[in-house]
Amino acid sequence: MPQCYGTEGTFVDRRSYNDVAVAPSGGERRQFSNSHEELSPDARDLAVAIDEYKLRHRRRFITYEEMLAVISALGYHK
């Protein structure tokens, strides 16, 4: 059996957080940001409209039909 520190069932946190910027804040962690800075103006408008739709309808992911509805609401047509 490998040697472990502390008693069985005890977790010893040996990480040092001397730098406040590295210490966990306890807040929400996200891997991806919803940054739209590098998009063209039209693409940014679409991204913002889709984000607003998802917030309004409490949807994490939307279907193609819902995306088409958002695009149509922006005034685009075939």
Residues 6+ apart with CB under 8 A from 12: 5, 6
Asked if residue 8 is part of any domain, the answer here is no
Asked if residue 59 is part of any domain, the answer here is yes
d(CA 66, CA 64): 5
Asked if residue 62 is part of any domain, the answer here is yes
pTM: 0.56
For residue 3, what pLDDT is reported?
61
- pLDDT tens sequence across 28-56: 666 666 688 889 999 999 999 999 999 99
d(CA 14, CA 23): 13
For residue 56, what pLDDT is reported?
96
d(CA 44, CA 17): 38
Q: How many domains does the chain have?
A: 1
Q: What tokens appear for 16 in the block? A: 């040092």
For residue 2, what pLDDT is reported?
61
What range does the domain containing 56 cover? Answer: 41-73
Q: What tokens appear for 20 in the block? A: 């406040």
Would you place residue 9 in the very low, low, confident or very high pLDDT band (cuts 50, 70, 90)?
confident
Asked if residue 68 is part of any domain, the answer here is yes
